[in-house]
Amino acid sequence: MGVEIGVPIITEDALAANFTNEGGVEGTFRFLKNIMGLWPLQQCRKEWSSTTQYTYDDLMRLAGGAMPFRSLIDPDFSDFFNPPNMQKSIQDYCGKTGQTAPDQVAEFVRCILESLALKYRTTLEQLRQLTGRRISIVHVIGGGSQNRLLCQYAANAMGVPVIAGPVEATAIGNILMQAHALGHVGSLAEMRTIVGHSFQPVRYDPKDQEAWNSAYKRFETLTSTNH
């Protein structure tokens, strides 16, 4: 998660917050932080597959009906990198932090998605502080933009609209850069105009702000120290 900038941000604060600068096209830089993503959910789904083959649509439907904010985790906590059993690691984290641990599939999925959305808010706040930018809209591209529930949770958590899509962002960027190299496209701005005219993104507006703000305060406390 990050922003495009013209000059790298190389400060002690950026280092402490674990942000990096990646070279981009046309002399730009991507100032960003890597976030765990849906790895915990993928691993849980793999563990569930021994008894039930859940599609991601199945899991989203189950999560939508589960109790909100029952348990929260720090998705970037080291115990979630590659544990022998992801469900047990999540339960252990909740036990250590004094929370009711998830037990049912729906509870695990809801926990992971809500925690990811709240992690996005933490990162957004850091980006605002480190760049001095207001940042009033967040774009989600790639495969994750297809997860409607996560996109809505992200908008709710961050309190800003989320614009989701296009899905095949890497391939689109590759094609356009080749077109640019061959002289068919003149500039980065023109490339972005082509993308905007070629794909219809989905907009998610924030909802339930009071509940999500309350959950974020709890999330900040849980993730402020290593467990």
- Residues 73-119: tens digit of each pLDDT: 999 999 999 999 999 999 999 999 999 999 999 999 999 999 999 99
Q: Is the four-CA dihedral 134, 115, 224, 12 of positive or negative sign?
A: negative
H or E stretch at 57: helix 56-64
Residues 145-196 pLDDT 10s: 999 999 999 999 999 999 999 999 999 999 999 999 999 999 999 999 999 9
Q: Domain 39-123+209-223 adopts which CATH fold?
A: Nucleotidyltransferase; domain 5 (3.30.420)
How do the domains of the chain map onto residue ranges?
1-34, 39-123+209-223
pLDDT of residue 56: 95
pLDDT of residue 92: 98
Q: How far is residue 162's CA from residue 108's CA, in Å, rounded to a whole number?
A: 24
| Inter-CA distances, 223 with 100, 144, 218, Å | 16, 24, 9
Q: Closest Cα partner for 173 from 8, 13, 30?
A: 30
pLDDT at 225 over 80: no
Q: Taking a C-beta distance cutoff of 8 angstroms, is the pair 162, 149 a contact?
A: no
Residues 112-151 pLDDT 10s: 999 999 999 999 999 999 999 999 999 999 988 999 999 9
